[in-house]
Amino acid sequence: MRENTNENLVELLRTQRDLSDEQLRTLLETDAYDEALFAEADQVRRAHYGTEVYIRGLIEFTNYCKNNCYYCGIRRDNRHATRYRLTKDEILECCAEGYALGFRTFVLQGGEDPYFTDKRVCEIVSAIRKNHPDCAITLSIGEKPRESYQAYFDAGANRYLLRHETADDAHYAKLHPVELSAQKRKECLFNLKEIGYQVGSGFMVGSPYQTTDNLIADLRFLQKLQPDMIGIGPYITHAETPFADQKSGTLELTLRLVAVLRLMFPYALLPATTALGTIHPEGRELGLKAGANVVMPNLSPVRVRKLYELYENKICTGEEAAQCRGCLEQRVRSAGYEIVTARGDVRREDA
Ligand code: SAM
Ligand code: FES
């Protein structure tokens, strides 16, 4: 029998797109495999997507939220947060500006804000669809009844981002109040998939009380869901939350997981997230080199950028959309890849 040397485990993961729980544990708990892991992940990414990096224009349109997730800076009980909502016209202006800058995907993200009823969401989605028929419209507005998801889809939305956060029930309960459950969140994801959305899920790395077993459960859940996109980023502390004293997640473990995800899901769209860029000045470049192939520059008006404060010291809060786009273009190029102006749909043909 061949010994499980570093390279063998990485090679096994690439060829099988899977490993046993024990092997995954070995890979995740030491830095011994990192070099081989990143190199292999980069090769697989290049085989599927070349050097292309897709851009998504992020519009953070409301920071009101009825939920109280313990980790999140815009949770309901953070009385220090200054709340804002963009109007439909402001959202449309962000899209028009983004379109002129080459964006062909708009991501509307926000807290779970009851002001944005299904009717209002549908009106916004229809208007974007009408103005930009060639663009993908992504929603990231949390847990909704299946009928609501269907209505948004019928209005023209095609993608939905809903991180499962953690697949383990007990861990989920440590991060959320009782009214929220992992089971409900997972159900939403399967509903979205059945309706026909391209679905993105994911989790925070290094969230409070997270164990390696939790991370392995996250990977197993993703194997079941087979999402088109997988967004992961480090958990980052926010002083106005019950987790103020908890430690943030690390760059190292996040990068390792990006690479593992690339090898397990070669076809997936994997963003180099803002949170990754926040914990390290070159976090996003390193994310790309570890297998990520998406970046999400911010298109929100600068006056609200700082207010969408999920965690502390969030980057990209001072720049106009064009500056953000330019900055990321540079960063992507410096890492050896290129931003492309395309909708950037998932390539599942050989998945
Ligand atoms: N309300 C929508 C939802 O629940 O999916 C979208 C907005 S929510 C703020 C988007 C993501 O931010 C969450 O899925 C979570 O993973 C991430 N997030 C929240 N607080 C964070 C923190 N302190 N550090 C890192 N990521 C965080
Ligand atoms: Fe709702 Fe964070 S608690 S977006």
Q: Which residues of 171-205 are buried (b: 16+ CB within 10 A; e: fewer)?
A: bbeebbeeebebeebbebbebbbebebbbbbbbbb
73 Cα–ligand 1 center, Å: 9
% of the chain with per-residue pLDDT over 70: 98
Domain membership flag for residue 266: yes
Q: What is the pLDDT of residues 116-141, one digit of tens each?
A: 999 999 999 999 999 999 999 999 99
CATH number at residue 273: 3.20.20.70
56 Cα–ligand 2 center, Å: 21
122 Cα–ligand 2 center, Å: 21
211 Cα–ligand 2 center, Å: 23
Distances in Å between the alpha carbon of 229 and those of 128, 150, 205, 252, 313?
Answer: 22, 20, 16, 21, 26
Q: Please report the atom of ligand 2 found closest to the CA of residue 76.
A: 3
Q: Is the CB of 136 under 6 A from ligand 1?
A: no
Q: Is the CB of 69 under 6 A from ligand 2?
A: yes
Domain membership flag for residue 192: yes
Number of domains in the chain: 1
- Structural domain span for residue 260: 6-10+31-340
164 Cα–ligand 1 center, Å: 10
Tokens of 196: 């026909």
Q: Is the CB of 75 under 6 A from ligand 2?
A: yes
Domain membership flag for residue 219: yes
**What is residue 349's predicted lDDT score, i.e. its pLDDT?**
63
**What is residue 348's predicted lDDT score, i.e. its pLDDT?**
79
Domain membership flag for residue 23: no
Query: How far does CA 225 lie from the centroid of its chain?
Result: 15
**What is residue 155's predicted lDDT score, i.e. its pLDDT?**
98
**What is residue 342's predicted lDDT score, i.e. its pLDDT?**
83
Global pTM exceeds 0.85: yes
Q: Which of 313, 320, 301 is nearest to 276 (CA)?
A: 313
Q: Is the CB of 192 under 6 A from ligand 2?
A: no
Q: Is the CB of 335 under 6 A from ligand 1?
A: no
Residues with pLDDT less than 50, the chain? 1, 351
**What is residue 1's predicted lDDT score, i.e. its pLDDT?**
46
Q: Is the CB of 140 under 6 A from ligand 1?
A: yes
Distances in Å between the alpha carbon of 272 and those of 60, 107, 205, 277, 331?
Answer: 18, 15, 13, 8, 11
